[in-house]
């Protein structure tokens, strides 16, 4: 809002004096106005700075120099103290996860498809990543465009966990996008595409690799959280959890969750099993971390139908894959299936899978 300003020509000065004063008034510098930055979303947002700008005039004159304070530096994740605990009070200031209700015997079921991606990056930048896990940005864009055009919309895994816990059914055509491993391209390539389509995602990050080359930085994770994306636990070192003892399991699950809380200010609400490895021992260790309400697998429930025998002289086609309708229940919240999306997944196929 502009501050009012003006000039007083009080007194009984003569005509010449009035003219001189008018010239002086015309050359004077008006007061600067302050323009606040865009409103900050109330949910999962970071503080926004307020900047001052000078009001333009027909006869500008030098205005006082405006100094914008530099952004508050963030410590590198690796320099933070190790917190090997899922106790919400162990990370001061981090937002805790709502305590789960006793829904173990509930029959409430959700049918929300969860898509699994790993890398959204041009093939030339993928290095030695497994080719089936590398989805070019233009393919990702086309997939999301098809889903958005068909009326699909996204929620995060955190929202899905809350809906399941509170027995809330999301609107029809709701789905979840998950992106594993915390590569840098999740921010540089996937994030702008998500925003263009009005979608959000859950990024499962390897906590021990935050701020390392080729992986997401603390600042980038903060920007994702500010845009209402969700950061999930993908363990500290991407370890095979089924091969670990109790102490190492706690470190991989709990210390990773605490590190994410230290970096983002929010405790993660779900975990993705590295390479999909899980067993009853792993699930028991996971359920002991009260901040984690769900865990996702690296597989989907699917039926593969062999192609019919071709007619004489014809070439046999490929088998047909049909994904069973996704489901989430509280009793099996740590065994939630996902649908793997590959570079060969066409938008039409993706729409058919989601139903």
Q: Where are the domains of the chain?
A: 1-67, 93-354
* Higher per-residue pLDDT: 148 or 48: 148
Q: In a 10 Å sphere around its CB, with 0-12 CB exposed, 13-18 middle and 19+ buried, how is residue 279 labelled?
A: exposed
pLDDT at 44: 40
From the list 203, 220, 222, 94, the residue with the least C-alpha distance to 158 is 203
Rounded Cα distance between 217 and 263, Å, is: 9
- pLDDT class for 234, splitting at 50, 70, 90? very high
Distance of CA 101 to the CA centre of its chain: 25
Rounded Cα distance between 290 and 292, Å, is: 6
Mean local confidence (pLDDT), 154-172:
96
In 202-342, alpha helices (H): 218-226, 246-250, 256-264, 280-287
CB within 8 Å of 77: residues ≥ 6 apart: 207, 210, 211, 218, 259, 262, 263
The DSSP symbol for 121 reads: S
Q: Which fold has domain 93-354?
A: TIM Barrel (3.20.20)
* Higher per-residue pLDDT: 11 or 341: 341
Mean local confidence (pLDDT), 235-253:
97
How many other C-beta atoms lie within 10 A of the C-beta of residue 116? 24
Rounded Cα distance between 271 and 288, Å, is: 13
CB within 8 Å of 245: residues ≥ 6 apart: none
- pLDDT exceeds 90 at position 88: yes
pLDDT digits (tens, 9 = 90+) for 99-122: 766 666 678 999 999 999 999 999
pLDDT digits (tens, 9 = 90+) for 37-80: 333 333 343 333 322 333 333 434 444 455 545 555 778 999 99
Buried b (16+ CB within 10 A) or exposed e, 254-278: bbbbbbbbbbbbbbbbbbbbbeeeb
CB within 8 Å of 260: residues ≥ 6 apart: 205, 207, 221, 231, 232, 233, 266, 267, 268
Q: What pTM was estimated for this model as a whole?
A: 0.76
From the list 62, 81, 97, 71, the residue with the least C-alpha distance to 265 is 97
How many residues comprise the chain?
355
Rounded Cα distance between 311 and 192, Å, is: 47
* Higher per-residue pLDDT: 60 or 92: 92
From the list 97, 89, 86, 95, the residue with the least C-alpha distance to 45 is 95
Rounded Cα distance between 268 and 291, Å, is: 7
Dihedral sign for Cα 331, 99, 108, 169, please.
negative
In the chain, alpha helices (H): 15-27, 137-149, 157-166, 185, 191-196, 218-226, 246-250, 256-264, 280-287, 347-354
- pLDDT exceeds 50 at position 124: yes
Dihedral sign for Cα 214, 218, 224, 225, please.
positive
Strand 134-135 with 294-296, pairing: unpaired
From the list 292, 138, 127, 140, the residue with the least C-alpha distance to 204 is 292
Rounded Cα distance between 181 and 178, Å, is: 10
């Amino acid at each position: 809002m502009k501050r009012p300003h003006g000039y007083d020509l009080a007194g009984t000065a003569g005509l010449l004096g009035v003219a001189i004063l008018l010239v002086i008034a015309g050359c004077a510098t008006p007061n600067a106005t302050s323009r606040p930055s865009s409103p900050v979303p109330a949910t999962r947002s970071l503080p926004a700075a307020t900047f001052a700008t000078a009001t333009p005039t027909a006869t500008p004159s030098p205005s006082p120099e405006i100094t914008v304070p530099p952004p508050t530096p963030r410590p590198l994740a690796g320099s933070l103290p190790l917190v090997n605990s899922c106790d919400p009070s162990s990370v001061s200031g981090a937002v805790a996860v709502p305590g789960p209700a006793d829904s173990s015997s509930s029959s409430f079921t959700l049918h929300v498809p969860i898509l699994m991606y790993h890398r959204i990056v041009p093939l030339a930048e993928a290095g030695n990543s497994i080719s089936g896990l590398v989805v070019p940005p233009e393919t990702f864009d086309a997939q999301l465009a098809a889903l958005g055009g068909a009326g699909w919309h996204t929620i995060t895994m955190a929202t899905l966990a809350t809906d399941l816990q509170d027995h809330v059914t999301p609107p029809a055509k709701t789905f979840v996008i998950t992106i594993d491993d915390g590569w840098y391209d999740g921010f540089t390539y996937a994030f702008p595409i998500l925003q263009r389509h009005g979608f959000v995602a859950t990024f499962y990050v390897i906590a021990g690799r935050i701020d390392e080359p080729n992986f997401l930085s603390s600042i980038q994770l903060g920007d994702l959280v500010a845009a209402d994306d969700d950061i999930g636990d993908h363990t500290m070192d991407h370890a095979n959890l089924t091969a670990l003892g109790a102490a190492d399991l706690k470190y991989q699950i709990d210390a990773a969750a605490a590190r994410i809380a230290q970096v983002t200010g929010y405790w993660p609400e779900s975990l993705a099993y590295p390479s999909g490895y899980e067993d009853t021992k792993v699930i028991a260790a996971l359920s002991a971390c009260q901040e984690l309400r769900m865990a996702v697998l690296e597989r989907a429930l699917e039926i593969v139908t062999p192609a019919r025998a071709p007619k004489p002289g014809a070439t046999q086609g490929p088998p047909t894959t049909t994904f069973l309708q996704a489901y989430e229940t509280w009793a099996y919240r740590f065994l939630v299936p996902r649908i793997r999306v590959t570079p060969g997944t066409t938008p039409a196929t993706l729409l058919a899978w989601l139903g």
